[in-house]
Amino acid sequence: MAEGFLAWNVQNLEVRVRHVERRFERRELREIDDPFELPDNAFRDLFRLSPEIMSDLIDSLYPLLSRDRPTGLSVDKQVLAAVRFYATGCYQRPVGEQWGISMSQSSISRSIRSVTNAINQLLLRPWVRFPISEMERRIARQEFQTANQPFEGAIGAIDCSHIAIIAPREHEEGYVNHHGYHSINVQMICDPNLKVLNVNARYPGARNDSYIWSASPVRRIMQQWYERGERETFLIGDQGYPLEPWLMTPLPNERLGTPRFLYNQDFCSARNCVERLFGVIKSTWRCLSKHRVLQYEPGMAGKIVNACAVLHNMRIQNGIQMEMIDENEIEGDNPIVHDADDDDLRPLAAARRVQDRLIRQRYGI
């Protein structure tokens, strides 16, 4: 009994020592005036970016964010505040309170708008690029062909996800999604490495995935390539999308072990990357989490989504390890199966021929 009591005392002492050590670590962090003086891991925990990426980001945005007034907020403060908001989605603990760059909530809000607009204006196109040229498409096909879950011919996986927003003043009913809350429905296309190739964050939550795709510039580009004779290039999506020659979808209820079942199996494994993308991006940039609500009008909310996509791609290019995916962030949508209208029967028939040819070539008759 005495030995057990002694072991309990030792264990309790270790817990208390760790508690004191953490308290001193937090105090030490509070005494640091410049966030860039933090240890790299502490900096990444706060901003989701390395100090080097943050410095490059500040330099890139400087032309649009610099202020002539000596009393104006520095570019560093504006960018740090905005990125901290993207990472947490919370105004109540603005970055800088503990590091000597304290800012009011109104200053934080202005910084978020300024930095978000600057990222959209200067960095969105360079960092989120759909493979337009023939060489870029060839590289994109190669990435899917050699991926852990390969699917030959694909250049991107496509899906939509809802980002919660406050009820807008105009056309409020159009933003109520089928889950019952206000949102924008965001379409993204990604490669097997979860790099964002295209983002479309302009549509209200009541619009379904198929509608957003039908109005997408990417769809028009894919159709043009097909009509010019490019038959082995397509995107992969779920049953919420229409089957088209340039957009493959899964087959319903195929018998186990058949070629069509094997096609489905490989197809769904390859398409899973876009579902993981949404899980990662919402876990990293918590302002997009369904547990948060963006307190902005739809237009600015969409720009914040774009900004997070840019920062996500920066993290990938610089080899920053992915955040642990919160499974609650992967929406369990039941996709609306698209029924073709009479006007769509010709492309649908062509799409079925493309799909059947893929199955014959790769899985046998």
For 256-318, give the DSSP string: TTSHHHHHHHHHHHHHHHHHHHHHHHHHHSGGGSTTS-B-S-HHHHHHHHHHHHHHHHHHHHT
Are residues 172 and 154 located together in one domain of the fold?
Answer: yes
In a domain, 262, yes or no: yes
Instruction: Inform me whether the pLDDT recorded for 13 exceeds 70.
Output: no
In a domain, 18, yes or no: no
Are residues 176 and 116 located together in one domain of the fold?
Answer: no
Q: Which pLDDT score is estimated for 253? A: 85
Instruction: Inform me whether the pLDDT recorded for 33 exceeds 90.
Output: no
Instruction: Inform me whether the pLDDT recorded for 239 exceeds 70.
Output: yes
Are residues 316 and 358 located together in one domain of the fold?
Answer: yes
Are residues 312 and 202 located together in one domain of the fold?
Answer: yes
Residues 176-207 pLDDT 10s = 999 999 999 999 999 999 999 999 999 999 99
In a domain, 322, yes or no: yes
Structural domain boundaries, residue 180: 131-363
For the chain, give the mean pLDDT: 86
Q: Which pLDDT score is estimated for 252? A: 87
Are residues 303 and 355 located together in one domain of the fold?
Answer: yes
Domain ends where: 122, 155, 176? 122
Spatial distance between the Cα atoms of 233 and 218, rounded to a whole number of angstroms: 13
- Residue 105: pLDDT band with limits 50, 70, 90: confident
Spatial distance between the Cα atoms of 64 and 229, rounded to a whole number of angstroms: 43
**Residue that is written with structure tokens 């990604």 in the block:** 190
Residues 44-81 pLDDT 10s = 999 999 999 999 999 999 999 987 665 578 899 999 99
In a domain, 64, yes or no: yes
**Residue that is written with structure tokens 């989701």 in the block:** 48
- Residue 288: pLDDT band with limits 50, 70, 90: very high
- Cβ(79)–Cβ(56) under 8 Å? no
Query: What mean pLDDT do residues 206-223 have?
Result: 97
Domain ends where: 68, 103, 122? 122
Query: What mean pLDDT do residues 118-132 have?
Result: 98
Spatial distance between the Cα atoms of 356 and 348, rounded to a whole number of angstroms: 12
The number of folded domains in the chain is 2
Are residues 276 and 140 located together in one domain of the fold?
Answer: yes
Domain ends where: 122, 151, 186? 122
Q: Which pLDDT score is estimated for 290? A: 84
Are residues 152 and 61 located together in one domain of the fold?
Answer: no
Are residues 207 and 232 located together in one domain of the fold?
Answer: yes
Instruction: Inform me whether the pLDDT recorded for 16 exceeds 50.
Output: yes
In a domain, 22, yes or no: no
Q: Which of 96-110, 128-142, 250-264, 303-317 has the least mean pLDDT?
A: 96-110
Percent of the chain with pLDDT over 90: 66
- Residue 101: pLDDT band with limits 50, 70, 90: low
Residues 224-235 pLDDT 10s = 999 999 988 999
Are residues 95 and 199 located together in one domain of the fold?
Answer: no
Spatial distance between the Cα atoms of 109 and 100, rounded to a whole number of angstroms: 19
Instruction: Inform me whether the pLDDT recorded for 337 exceeds 70.
Output: no
- Residue 104: pLDDT band with limits 50, 70, 90: confident
Are residues 48 and 188 located together in one domain of the fold?
Answer: no
Query: What mean pLDDT do residues 271-281 have?
Result: 96
Query: What mean pLDDT do residues 332-360 have?
Result: 68
Are residues 253 and 330 located together in one domain of the fold?
Answer: yes
DSSP string, 15-72: HHHHHHHHHHHHHHHHT-S-GGGS-HHHHHHHHSS-HHHHHHHHHHHHHHH--SSTTS
Sign of CA dihedral 271, 259, 355, 233: positive
Are residues 344 and 242 located together in one domain of the fold?
Answer: yes
Q: Which pLDDT score is estimated for 11? A: 59
